[in-house]
Structure 1
Amino acid sequence: MPENTGAKAHGGAGNRAKGTYQDRDKPSQIRFSNISAGKGEVRCGGWRPPAAEEAGALRAPFVLRGGGRRPPPAGRSGPGPGLGQRQPFPPRASRLEGRRAARVLFLPSVRRPRAPRRLVPSCAPSRVGGETVRGGPCLSAPRPDSWTCIALVWCHGSGADIPAVADAIRTSLGPKGMDKMIQDAKGDVTITNDGATILKQMQVLHPAAKMLVELSKAQDIEAGDGTTSVVVIAGALLDACSRLLQKGIHPTIISESFQKALDKGIEVLTNMAQPVELSDRETLLNSATTSLNSKVVCQYSSLLSPMSVDAVMKVIDPTTASSVDLRDIKIVKKLGGTIDDCELVEGLVLTQKVANTGVTRVEKAKIGLIQFCLSAPKTDMDNQIVVSDYAQMDRVLREERAYILNLVKQIKKAGCNVLLIQKSILRDALSDLALHFLNKMKIMVVKDIERDDIEFICKTIGTKPVAHIDQFTPDMLGSAELAEEVNLNGSGKLIKITGCTNPGKTVTIVVRGSNKLVLEEAERSIHDALCVIRCLVKKRALIAGGGAPEIELALRLNEYARTLRGMDSYCVRAYGDALEVIPSTLAENAGLNPISTVTELRNRHAQGEKTAGINVRKGGISNILEELVVQPLLVSLSALTLATETVRSILKIDDVEYL
């Protein structure tokens, strides 16, 4: 196909832009130059038909060669002016909608390319309507097919949800990141800067954008930290992919090059890491503190960090452990007080109240857990009892009383003095008569135990759940030194069971907070700190924070790219440059100049300072290890690996089908 140039459109205040489309099947190009931005729409989701009053003002500024004739201008018959001739154009230029919203300029009067034609834009950045359009103004977004892919849509607007996901949490990265206030459909409000929590509550519609949400969830499961960083890195890699695709590089080549860059990056990070021993308590505290520095409750890190480290070390054997089961660490939330009132309890803590107020403290406790009701037996749905006189009614009441008394006597005979009752759907799972008998026999009763807590309770105090009274024997009981109901200074009560005789390796963390928002954020912060210590148990190595690993990766990948040939070199270099989004964002969120900060970081790392990073507390660059800003190696490796795998998956997608 020969090179074709669109007509020059004059008139009005429309801005001019240039663009180029590359035809895959034919080596020539279709060029459109000097096209004014008139009444065409710049939109994220596709073309909007012009309104009735606008339709008469629209003029076709040019004709695609071989694509059909354009309609004649208003007031004229026959063919309109040919190529290169002037033609009226609407005076008002369209505006871009939203922040980095659109990537496509749709001119309603221009015929879209035919379906078989595979067009790949290779435009230079231009300005349309006073705003920069990444990738240049495209007259019609190419439909993703076997050549193009969803990553290209990132740059062309119909997948605008994808960059929106990364941008939404980018400002929450780092110790100086901002918090998000999220209101759900019920009106409940959440204040957090945890990436996984933010994305979990976002209403994301685009399928590719949902992959980023799942990416954050996967990082939370694997490492527990770095949920914001992994999405920001994935967003930067997708942005790099879109630029590479616009230059005509095939998606498969990009994907294979990114895998090479990932393998090299893992090698670089592993060489940067420093081994750590679980007996080094100070190093573990520094890691937990770094994780808490970006949280709302960071001012309480001196309390929460030791609590998190001690909790993990009490449930594992430091010499042989290869992982940590966080289900052995139960976090109990209790509204009231302040975060200073949080505590670590070696035992069991229940938020339920004692059912019988007569017994609230038991020493040398023998604890039983039942899963049946302490009430009169019920008839089947198909049966009924007919009482015809008062004598029969009195007999029924006496038999019910005798039945319940027999149950309580068997419980007392087994030696039980603390009874836990699983929550039941029956309203009278514990009758008043049974409660009266238990109180007279000095048995402390706690009812409404949640089913999800049964496993933790049994492991903690050594008891076994009993489903029938015939199985209630002394060997089914657990034992503890003390079981008591504790008053929390007017903000409620808790039941503490401590001094377990045969304890499993479990602990309980009691979290306090003045309101629900602080309470939930404190729980999330403690969970992240626990996950950081778990990462050190799984992979006992630390790495510097503050953007130092990402800058070092970018430098080493650029050196590695020089050893490659062809498009691999270009793609690996783009991969390394994309990783600089982390230090750039850290600097921007800390109020520093991101350009000068990243430039200085490059120079420092080029001189061999591998641990030079951004010190947000001092507002400059320093040796980040001396500032005790460290993070587990597993967090960085997981973030880099998961982000790259997600981007490679998106690169392999060429279309989205809605059924």
Structure 2
Amino acid sequence: MAPKAGGDSAKVNSAVYKDKSKPTDIRLSNISAAKAVSDAIRTSLGPRGMDKMIQASNGEVTITNDGATILKQMSVIHPAAKMLVELSRAQDIEAGDGTTSVVVIAGALLDAAEKLLQKGIHPTVISDGFQQALQMALQVVEGMATPVDLANEDALLKAAATSLNSKVVSQHSTILAPIAVQAIRAVMEPIVGGVGARVDLRDVKVIERIGGTVEDTELVQGLVIPHRASNVNGPHRIEKAKVGLIQFCISPPKTDMDHNVIVSDYAAMDRVLKEERQYILNIVKQIKKAGCNVLLVQKSILRDALSDLAIHFLDKIKTMVIKDIEREDIEFVCKTLGCRPIASLDHFTAENLVNVDLVEEVNEPAGKYIKATGTLRGQPCTNPSLTII
């Protein structure tokens, strides 16, 4: 029989020199990168933690001691270091606090793992040991834990104040803690047949205003739109308002981008202006027929959401109009007011409007904004939401 041709080559391949130090070097490199991230924010932990000043590439300066914010601003390239950044982000989403602590603890665990690796212990054995330590730690923490009654406002205030003590605004915790507790209690939904409550933080919108101090922070049981009213001579305060949210424009339609209309005759120009006027007038008549006196208009990209002629007609019928509602804010506006966006003029009827006690334009040194407050009459609010300004 002929000898097998692959026998000698298999022996040669098995005898190829293997660098056994390479896996160890990779592990130490990963640990060193992760520990560097941990050490960078270690000094910002606790009530005596120092704030970090971070300058972005565009020159914007951020001063904070929040772990998630610091790591978000840092340009991390190493894959292992990026895992700590993701860990901090996950902690922020899940609990909203402890973003620095989880990174510091992870760095300490990696430091302990590095010492065990240097003693020749296999990584799998170290990982199994960490899993057993996790189970024991959970038992200890559960034994130390104190059940929190969501109806006990004092306990919730203490928890909120404790979280604020390590933040830049710690000296204002007596003001911000009650606002945070009231906001969460207003939007939380008790779990039927279970323990605790379900809270969607998207139901609480925080609007930043330039000027003023932390003491000016206000909790609004309603909707705040950071825009001024578009009216020229129209109303700026309406009680017992009927609010409509539209997603179509009150302006003359335009041609496609690749087309132009050239009008060279004065008579044709007059007809065009007359048709535009009649087109806008028909929309305004439908708005008045439905009884709407507060109109919210979604921001348009292709053309102006409101023309000057439309604002003139809306002033005539005493309707407050607020334009340029961002597309991503439509869901929050609908949930807060209990309304539905109206996509066409045919659906603009009284049934699609919502009742609000008061809609007013608030004038501040930093600018004007719209505030809609008051109970919604005749419509149960199944999805409560509110705004902090």
TM-score, structure 2 as length reference: 0.90
Mark the runs of 5 or more structure 1 residues left unpaired by the alignment: 1-113, 119-141, 511-659
**Residue 323 of structure 2 is aligned to residue 447 of structure 1:** yes
**Residue 225 of structure 2 is aligned to residue 350 of structure 1:** yes
Larger radius of gyration: 1
2:333 is aligned to 457
**Residue 343 of structure 2 is aligned to residue 471 of structure 1:** no
1:116 is aligned to 18
1:275 is aligned to 147
1:487 is aligned to 363
Letter matched to residue 454 of structure 1: I
**Residue 191 of structure 2 is aligned to residue 312 of structure 1:** no
**Residue 46 of structure 2 is aligned to residue 164 of structure 1:** no
1:264 is aligned to 136
In the alignment, is the contact (CA less than 8 A) between 1:149 and 1:251 conserved in 2?
no
From the superposition, tell whether residues 471 and 115 of structure 1 become closer, same or farther in structure 2 (CA, over 3 Å): farther
1:291 to 156, 163, 175: 163
Residues 479-628 of structure 1: pairs in structure 2 closer than 5 A: 479-488=355-364, 490-501=365-376, 502=379, 503=381, 504-510=383-389
In the alignment, is the contact (CA less than 8 A) between 1:219 and 1:226 conserved in 2?
yes
Note the alpha carbon deviations across 1:305-341, whole angstroms, 9 max, x for none: 0000011111124574532011111111111111000
1:396 to 269, 272, 282: 272
CA distance in 1, matches of 2:319, 2:265: 37
Note the alpha carbon deviations across 1:472-493, whole angstroms, 9 max, x for none: 11111111000000112x2212
TM-score, structure 1 as length reference: 0.54
Q: Percent identity?
A: 63
CA distance in 1, matches of 2:19, 2:25: 15
For residue 426 of structure 1, report the CA deviation from its aligned partner.
Answer: 3.1
1:59 is aligned to none
1:71 is aligned to none
What is the count of residue pairs matched by the alignment? 366
2:288 to 412, 424, 436: 412
Letter matched to residue 257 of structure 1: G
From the superposition, tell whether residues 465 and 441 of structure 1 become closer, same or farther in structure 2 (CA, over 3 Å): same
Note the alpha carbon deviations across 1:225-261, whole angstroms, 9 max, x for none: 1110000000010011110001010011111111011
CA distance in 2, matches of 1:499, 1:238: 54
For residue 160 of structure 1, report the CA deviation from its aligned partner.
Answer: 3.9
From the superposition, tell whether residues 267 and 196 of structure 1 become closer, same or farther in structure 2 (CA, over 3 Å): same
**Residue 247 of structure 2 is aligned to residue 368 of structure 1:** no
In the alignment, is the contact (CA less than 8 A) between 2:52 and 2:65 conserved in 1?
yes
Letter matched to residue 22 of structure 2: R
2:306 to 419, 422, 430: 430
In the alignment, is the contact (CA less than 8 A) between 1:293 and 1:301 conserved in 2?
yes
CA distance in 2, matches of 1:439, 1:372: 19
In the alignment, is the contact (CA less than 8 A) between 1:416 and 1:443 conserved in 2?
yes
Q: Which has the higher helix share?
A: 2
In the alignment, is the contact (CA less than 8 A) between 1:351 and 1:494 conserved in 2?
yes
1:334 is aligned to 209
CA distance in 2, matches of 1:374, 1:465: 15
CA distance in 2, matches of 1:495, 1:343: 14
Mark the runs of 5 or more structure 2 residues left unpaired by the alignment: 1-15
Letter matched to residue 215 of structure 1: L
CA distance in 1, matches of 2:29, 2:179: 47
1:143 to 13, 18, 22: 22
For residue 204 of structure 1, report the CA deviation from its aligned partner.
Answer: 1.3
CA distance in 1, matches of 2:104, 2:292: 56
2:73 to 201, 208, 215: 201
CA distance in 1, matches of 2:188, 2:75: 39
Query: Partner of 1:312: helix, strand, or coil?
Result: helix
In the alignment, is the contact (CA less than 8 A) between 1:461 and 1:500 conserved in 2?
no
For residue 409 of structure 1, report the CA deviation from its aligned partner.
Answer: 0.7
1:244 is aligned to 116
For residue 382 of structure 1, report the CA deviation from its aligned partner.
Answer: 5.6
Letter matched to residue 55 of structure 2: Q
Q: State the Cα RMSD in Å.
A: 1.7
